[in-house]
Amino acid sequence: MLIGLNARCLLAMSRVIEPFDKTKSEDLLFDAYEAARSDGYTFGPQTSNVPAMFVGEEDLVSGWFSGSSTAIELAEMWECAGCNNAHGNPCYTHG
């Protein structure tokens, strides 16, 4: 599987349909961002490279890093003693 292909296709569809249906175009752009974010969440923590499919596309790169940083922060919280105390609230660092 090529990481980022789905997000890149959604972005392309967004651009193709933009002159005809602005609302649908915006929906597809949002879907593309969320697909990039999902890829970042799943694959981002294991690599420092942005997928080739996202190069030059700031929205997709932004989604990628958003998902990646969320995954990294959740993994940290899972291991953090301050987040796993009797109170159930995140520590100052992760809250």
DSSP single-letter state for residue 75: H
Binding status of residue 94 toward Zn ion by CB under 5 A: yes
In 3D space, the residue among 52, 5, 68, 69 whose CA is nearest the CA of residue 32 turns out to be 5
The encoded tokens of residue 33 equal 């961002």
Binding status of residue 91 toward Zn ion by CB under 5 A: yes
* Shortest distance (Å) from residue 42 CB to Zn ion: 23
* Shortest distance (Å) from residue 33 CB to Zn ion: 28
Maximum CA pair distance of the chain?
55
Amino acid letter at 79? E
Interface stretch with Zn ion, choices 3-11, 17-25, 54-62, 78-86 (CB under 5 A): 78-86
Binding status of residue 24 toward Zn ion by CB under 5 A: no
Instruction: Give the footprint of Zn ion on this chain (CB under 5 A).
Output: 80, 82-83, 91, 94
